[in-house]
Structure 1
Amino acid sequence: MNFAILFSGQGVQNLAHVQQLKDLATELNVTSQLTQCLPTLFNPNLSEADLYSNDFAQPFIFALQWCRWQKLKHKLDEIISFSGYSLGELSALICSTEISFEQGLYLARQRGMLMSEAGQESSGLLAVQGINWNGLELLLAKTATELSIKISDSHFIVGGLEANLQQLTQQLEQVGTHSVKRLNVSIPSHTSLMNCAVAPYRQVLQQHQFNRLEVAIISGSGGHKYYKTSDAVEALIDQMNHAIDWDSCLTAIQENQPDIVLEIGPGNALSKMLLERSPHLNVRAVDDFKTFQGLELWIEKQQNIDC
Structure 2
Amino acid sequence: MAGRLAILCPGQGAQHAGMFDLARLDPGASGLLDAWFADPQLAPLLRASLDGEQRFANRVAQPSIVAATLATWTALRARLPEPALVAGYSIGELSAYGVAGALEPGAAVKLAGERARLMDACLEGGAAQAMVALSGMPDGSVASLLARFGFHAAIVTGEDALVAGGPAAQGEALARAALAAGGRATLLPVAVASHTPLLQAAVAPFAALLERQRWAAPSFPVLSGISAAPVGDAQQAMRDLPRQIAEPILWQDCMDACREAGVTVALELGPGAALARMLQARHPQIACRSVSEFRSLDGVHSWLHRELD
State whether TM-score is above 0.5. yes
Distance 1:40 1:103, change over 3 A: closer
Cα distance between partner residues in 2 of 1:78 and 1:21: 19
List runs of 5+ in structure 2 lacking aligned partners. Answer: none
1:173 Cα deviation after fit: 2.2
Matched with 1:296 is 301
Aligned with 1:141: secondary structure? Answer: helix
1:176 and 2:182 correspond: yes
Matched with 1:250 is 255
Q: 2:87 aligns with which of 66, 83, 87?
A: 83
Cα distance between partner residues in 2 of 1:187 and 1:25: 36
Q: 2:117 aligns with which of 109, 113, 118?
A: 113
Q: 2:170 aligns with which of 157, 160, 164?
A: 164
| Post-superposition CA distance 1:271-304 (Å, at most 9, x none) | 111111121211111112122221122223334x
1:73 and 2:50 correspond: no
Q: 1:48 aligns with which of 44, 48, 52?
A: 52
Matched with 1:210 is 215
Distance 1:132 1:223, change over 3 A: farther
Q: Which protein is richer in helix relative to its size?
A: 1
Preserved contact between residue 22 and residue 296 of structure 2 (Cα < 8 Å): no
Counterpart residue identity of residue 34, structure 1: F
Cα distance between partner residues in 2 of 1:86 and 1:254: 20
Counterpart residue identity of residue 6, structure 1: L
Q: In terms of mean alpha carbon deviation, does 13-22 or 259-268 score higher? A: 13-22
Matched with 2:151 is 145
| Post-superposition CA distance 1:157-184 (Å, at most 9, x none) | 000111121221122122121x211112
Aligned with 1:78: secondary structure? Answer: coil
Counterpart residue identity of residue 14, structure 1: H
Cα distance between partner residues in 2 of 1:39 and 1:151: 33
Preserved contact between residue 99 and residue 210 of structure 1 (Cα < 8 Å): yes
Cα distance between partner residues in 1 of 2:98 and 2:82: 18
Superposed, which structure 2 residues align to 1:276-295 within 5 Å? 276-295=281-300
Matched with 1:191 is 196
1:234 and 2:236 correspond: no
TM-score, normalising length: structure 2: 0.91
1:98 Cα deviation after fit: 4.6
1:236 Cα deviation after fit: 1.0
Distance 1:25 1:60, change over 3 A: farther
| Post-superposition CA distance 1:37-96 (Å, at most 9, x none) | 1335446x9432311010010000000011011111121123110100100000111221
Preserved contact between residue 83 and residue 220 of structure 2 (Cα < 8 Å): yes
Matched with 2:68 is 64
Counterpart residue identity of residue 198, structure 2: L
Preserved contact between residue 175 and residue 187 of structure 2 (Cα < 8 Å): no
1:22 Cα deviation after fit: 5.9
* Count of aligned residue pairs for this structure pair: 302
Counterpart residue identity of residue 150, structure 1: V
Q: 1:270 aligns with which of 272, 275, 278?
A: 275
1:222 and 2:227 correspond: yes
Preserved contact between residue 217 and residue 225 of structure 1 (Cα < 8 Å): yes
List runs of 5+ in structure 1 lacking aligned partners. Answer: none
Cα distance between partner residues in 1 of 2:6 and 2:139: 29
Structure 1 runs (4+) greater than 4 angstroms displaced: 18-27
Aligned with 1:127: secondary structure? Answer: strand
Matched with 1:38 is 43
TM-score, normalising length: structure 1: 0.92
Counterpart residue identity of residue 16, structure 1: G
